[in-house]
């Protein structure tokens, strides 16, 4: 018997086999879940190709989280594959290069707004769009990078992640009466497409393995994906508004 037997999940952010979202979808299927993926634009065919590399090929529906039209249509598009959802995974983040890599002071509002919209506000937008399909006991899980700190080169993406973390708490407050849990997983640095596109990202990752009590493998998204799957399961029935760290213990260490 799998941890997610019979669960129906919507997973965003599957772009490559190295992505946290891909490993989440893979492990979720291995644990008995049926998975629907989202993608949009030029990435859509890429997501379809990657979906064929899962244990069971997953359908892909159109969703640009900045499009009101796509958000309004999401529930109907998902209904073409399942009549309800037990869980939603938010694995979405983007910031223009102009507000990363040491450009905090020079960042312009238009680009900052894009980062906050795509990386923070979209959690609320996605949850509300999926809400008609979610029932009691369902779970929304997002991915963050610990926003307590001002990281080198992360700049306005760090601010956007702080917005994401606050958004998750307010969502937990407002969706809790419907029996919907909202939690985040704070992962250590993983060499995903999004991470490696940040100029100077190696400044964040270079000391992570030695400062983490358990060590840290930046090539392995599996531990993070397992935490997401656990939060999607029924084994955390009274946990919401929480941030689970999957970083080898780095977050708790001093100098």
- pLDDT one-digit tens code per residue, 220-239: 999 999 999 999 999 999 99
Q: Tell me if 20 is assigned to a ligand binding site.
A: yes
- At residue 206, the pLDDT reads 82
In a domain, 244, yes or no: yes
Check whether 87 has a pLDDT greater than 90. yes
Q: Tell me if 60 is assigned to a ligand binding site.
A: no
Q: How far apart are CA 79 and CA 219, in angstroms?
A: 35
- At residue 143, the pLDDT reads 98
Q: Tell me if 243 is assigned to a ligand binding site.
A: no
Q: Tell me if 181 is assigned to a ligand binding site.
A: no
Q: Tell me if 203 is assigned to a ligand binding site.
A: no
Catalytic residues: 154, 161
In a domain, 2, yes or no: no
- At residue 157, the pLDDT reads 96
In a domain, 96, yes or no: yes
Q: How far apart are CA 65 and CA 78, in angstroms?
A: 15
Binned at pLDDT 50, 70 and 90, residue 250 comes out as very high
- At residue 5, the pLDDT reads 98
Of residues 3 and 195, more confidence is placed in: 3
Percent of the chain with pLDDT over 90: 92
Average of per-residue pLDDT across 86-109? 97
Closest by alpha carbon to 154, among 117, 109, 119? 119
In a domain, 168, yes or no: yes
Q: Tell me if 190 is assigned to a ligand binding site.
A: yes
Task: Give the tokens for residue 87.
Answer: 């869980």
In a domain, 1, yes or no: no
Check whether 195 has a pLDDT greater than 90. no
Average of per-residue pLDDT across 96-109? 96
- At residue 197, the pLDDT reads 73
Q: How far apart are CA 17 and CA 33, in angstroms?
A: 19
Range of the domain at 99: 8-248
In a domain, 253, yes or no: no
In a domain, 160, yes or no: yes
| Helix, strand, or coil (residue 252) | helix
Give the strands of the sheet with 60-62, arranged side by side: 60-62, 34-39, 8-11, 85-90, 134-144, 181-187, 243-246
pTM higher than 0.75:
yes
- At residue 146, the pLDDT reads 97
- pLDDT one-digit tens code per residue, 23-73: 999 999 999 999 999 999 999 999 999 999 999 999 999 999 999 999 999
Q: What's the structural domain count of the chain? A: 1
- At residue 72, the pLDDT reads 98
Binned at pLDDT 50, 70 and 90, residue 202 comes out as confident
Q: How far apart are CA 24 and CA 89, in angstroms?
A: 9
In a domain, 224, yes or no: yes
**Residue 12 · residue 211 · CB < 8 Å:** no
- pLDDT one-digit tens code per residue, 121-130: 999 999 999 9
- pLDDT one-digit tens code per residue, 151-172: 999 999 999 999 999 999 999 9
What is the CATH classification number for the domain harbouring 62?
Answer: 3.40.50.720
Q: Tell me if 64 is assigned to a ligand binding site.
A: yes
């Amino acid at each position: 018997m799998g941890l997610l037997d019979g669960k129906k999940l919507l997973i965003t952010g599957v772009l490559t086999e190295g992505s946290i979202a891909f490993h989440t979808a893979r492990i979720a299927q291995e644990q008995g879940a049926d998975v629907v993926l989202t993608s949009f634009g030029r990435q859509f065919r890429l997501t379809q190709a990657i979906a064929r590399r899962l244990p069971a090929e997953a359908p892909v529906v159109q969703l640009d989280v900045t499009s009101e039209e796509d958000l309004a249509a999401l529930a109907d598009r998902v209904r073409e594959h399942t009549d309800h959802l037990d869980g939603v995974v938010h694995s979405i983040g983007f910031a223009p290069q102009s507000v990363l890599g040491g450009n905090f002071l020079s960042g312009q509002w238009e680009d900052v707004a894009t980062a906050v919209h795509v990386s923070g506000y979209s959690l609320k937008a996605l949850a509300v769009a999926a809400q008609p399909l979610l029932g009691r006991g369902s779970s929304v899980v997002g991915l963050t990078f610990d926003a307590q700190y001002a990281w080198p080169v992360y700049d306005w993406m760090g601010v956007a992640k702080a917005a994401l973390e606050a958004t998750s708490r307010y969502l937990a407050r407002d969706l809790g009466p419907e029996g919907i849990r909202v939690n985040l997983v704070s992962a250590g640095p993983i060499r995903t497409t999004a991470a490696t596109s940040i100029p100077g990202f190696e400044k964040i990752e270079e000391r992570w393995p030695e400062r983490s009590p358990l060590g840290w493998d930046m090539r392995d998204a599996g531990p993070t994906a397992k935490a997401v799957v656990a939060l999607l399961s029924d084994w955390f029935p009274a946990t919401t508004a929480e941030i689970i760290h999957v970083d080898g213990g780095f977050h708790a260490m001093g100098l």
